């Protein structure tokens, strides 16, 4: 069973991405965002997402859902069987907004939160029907990247997790249910490790942000995209597979190089350095232009991979 009518609460970078994915899958969406600029921002994301979907579905898209801007959370969630919350990452705001959604939404509607790291158990305390809250953590751009990490809290029912899995899959996503509740879930923990290492490499002038990005995208970035990490190293181990790989590289893996370095504090000086190098790297391209380049690349990679995985 799919989504009949969806509500989006919060329409920033992530909320607008959800709106685009839902509309382009033919689902009507009602959105609430108090920012007077929200309507313009959502329409720009819609422009980019339509353009990206057109290349993926050259024979024509399904009829787009209808978008309504609501004046309150109450109005937005009225009649919705799926609600996705994407407000700024502050616990007290999440509590306030989720309590309001909880008060007005149908009791059997699924409520997903886009939070990047807050535990669902910490968010559902303000709800009368906490059993239908799940974290549904997406990746930007939500309208293209398939992964959604589903995390249930202490009070979430197994039924809600299962239903959320079906609903997210019905809009073309790859849901992965995280087995145990943990801060930052799984994907962002891996990204944080890479960030930590990158910070000191840049601070100590070992590399610039542009060189670091090249090192990533011309090598393991492509490898990860097509097979992930473990399967790639299984192959790298030769005919004896993973056991041989670990026998060979285990000593380096259990002695992380970072133990030898100080992980730097994110000082103003370091932030300036990263941001200035990033400005240079962009060669004057605007964020919207970079988004279009990103989307074209993602569509091309995903199309190539879907041919392989058939
Ligand atoms: P954002 O600042 O771009 O958007 C937040 C939006 O929420 C704004 O448009 C704001 O006007 C709106 N808002 C504020 N108060 C509100 C209220 N009371 N009711 C409704 N809307 C309200 O932030 P974002 O990057 O879209 O992040 C939103 C959520 O998604 C956060 O929980 C974040 O952790 C998560 N997330 C972000 C990313 C990312 O890459 N940016 C990725 C995955 C998850």
At CA 126, angle to CA 120 and CA 131, rounded to 5? Answer: 55
Residue 309's pLDDT is: 62
Q: Of the segments 233-247, 279-293, 295-309, which one has the largest average pLDDT value? A: 279-293
Q: Is the pLDDT of residue 307 over 80?
A: no
- Once rounded to an integer, what is the mean pLDDT over residues 67-77? 98
How do residues 175-185 score in pLDDT, each as one tens digit?
A: 999 999 999 99
Whether the CB of 39 sits within 6 Å of ligand 1: no
CA of 6 to the centre of ligand 1 (A): 17
Of the candidate CATH numbers 1.10.1040.10, 2.130.10.10, 1.20.140.10, 1.50.10.20, the domain formed by 187-308 belongs to: 1.10.1040.10
Please give the CATH superfamily to which domain 5-177 belongs.
Answer: NAD(P)-binding Rossmann-like Domain (3.40.50.720)
Cα–Cα distances (Å) from 135 to 65, 125, 131, 151, in that order, read 24, 14, 12, 5
CA of 14 to the centre of ligand 1 (A): 6
Please name the residue whose Cα sits nearest to atom 14 of ligand 1: 87
Q: Dump pLDDT digits (tens) for 17-58.
A: 999 999 999 999 999 999 999 999 999 999 999 999 988 877
Mutate to test the pocket of ligand 1, among 44, 70, 86 (most ligand atoms within 8 A of CB): 86
- CA 90 – ligand 1 centroid, Å: 10
Distance 79 CA to ligand 1 centre (A): 23
Identify the bridge partners of residue 31 per DSSP, sorted by sequence position: 8, 69
Tell me how far apart the alpha carbons of residues 106 and 101 are, in angstroms, rounded to a whole number. 9
Cα three-residue angle 173-177-183, rounded to 5 degrees:
110
Helix (H, G, I), strand (E, B) or coil at 28: strand
pLDDT of residue 262: 78
Find out whether the beta carbon of 13 lies less than 6 Å from any atom of ligand 1: yes
Residue 308 has pLDDT above 70, yes or no: no
Residue among 16, 281, 276 at smallest CA distance from 141: 16
Per-position b or e across 57-94, b if 16+ CB within 10 A of its CB:
eeeeeeebbebeebeebeebbeebbbbbbbbeeeeeeb
Mean of the pLDDT values across residues 288-294? 91
Distance 16 CA to ligand 1 centre (A): 9
Probe ligand 1: pick from 7, 13, 135, 192, max atoms within 8 Å of CB?
13
Q: Where are the domains of the chain?
A: 5-177, 187-308
pTM for the whole structure: 0.93
Provide the CB-side half-sphere exposure for 211 (13 A, CA): 7
CB distance 97 to ligand 1 below 6 Å: yes
């Amino acid at each position: 069973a799919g989504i009949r009518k969806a509500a989006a609460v919060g329409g920033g970078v992530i909320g607008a991405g959800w709106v685009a994915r839902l509309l382009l899958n033919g689902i009507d969406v009602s959105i609430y965002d108090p920012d007077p600029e929200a309507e313009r921002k959502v329409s720009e994301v819609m422009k980019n997402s339509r353009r990206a979907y057109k290349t993926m579905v050259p024979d024509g898209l399904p009829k787009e859902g209808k978008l309504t801007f609501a004046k309150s959370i109450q109005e937005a969630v009225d009649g919705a069987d799926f609600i996705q919350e994407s407000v700024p990452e502050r616990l007290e705001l999440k509590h306030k907004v989720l309590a309001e959604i909880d008060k007005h939404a149908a009791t059997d509607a699924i409520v997903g939160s886009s939070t990047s790291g807050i535990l669902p158990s910490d968010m559902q305390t303000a709800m009368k029907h906490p059993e239908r809250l799940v974290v549904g953590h997406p990746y930007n751009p939500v309208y293209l990247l398939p992964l959604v990490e589903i995390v249930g809290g202490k009070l979430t029912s197994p039924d809600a997790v299962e239903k959320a899995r079906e609903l997210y899959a019905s809009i073309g996503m790859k849901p992965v249910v995280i087995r145990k509740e943990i801060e930052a879930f799984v994907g962002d923990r891996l990204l944080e490790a890479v960030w930590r290492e990158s910070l000191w490499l840049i601070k100590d002038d070992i590399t610039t942000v542009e060189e670091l990005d090249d090192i990533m995208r011309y090598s393991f970035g492509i490898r990860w995209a097509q097979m992930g990490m473990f399967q790639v190293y299984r192959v790298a181990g030769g005919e004896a597979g993973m056991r041989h790989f670990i026998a060979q590289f285990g000593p380096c893996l259990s002695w992380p190089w970072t133990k030898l370095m100080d992980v730097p504090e994110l000082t103003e000086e370091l932030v300036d350095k990263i941001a200035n190098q990033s400005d240079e790297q962009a060669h004057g391209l605007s964020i919207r232009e970079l988004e279009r380049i990103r989307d074209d690349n993602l569509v091309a990679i995903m199309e190539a991979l879907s041919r392989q995985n058939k």
